[in-house]
């Protein structure tokens, strides 16, 4: 899934991805494409 520009991506120090919470679960997001690359369960 791709996230809209209105969703704030949170930074992870020294890591290429950002994160957001989706349905109370953290998800890694590629900041260039805003695409979710992994949901932690």
7-10 own/partner pairs: CB under 8 Å, 24+ apart = 7/34, 9/34
Domain ranges of the chain: 10-39
Length of the chain: 41
Beta strand segments in the chain, E: 10-11, 18-22, 25-30, 35-39
Query: Using one digit for the tens of pLDDT, what is the confidence trace for 1-41?
Result: 999 999 999 999 999 999 999 999 999 999 999 999 999 99
pLDDT of residue 16: 98
Give the pLDDT score at 3: 97
pLDDT given at position 8: 98
């Amino acid at each position: 899934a791709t996230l809209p520009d209105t969703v704030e991506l949170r930074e992870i120090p020294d890591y290429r991805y950002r994160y957001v919470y989706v349905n109370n679960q953290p998800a890694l997001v590629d900041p260039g494409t805003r695409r979710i690359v992994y949901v932690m369960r």
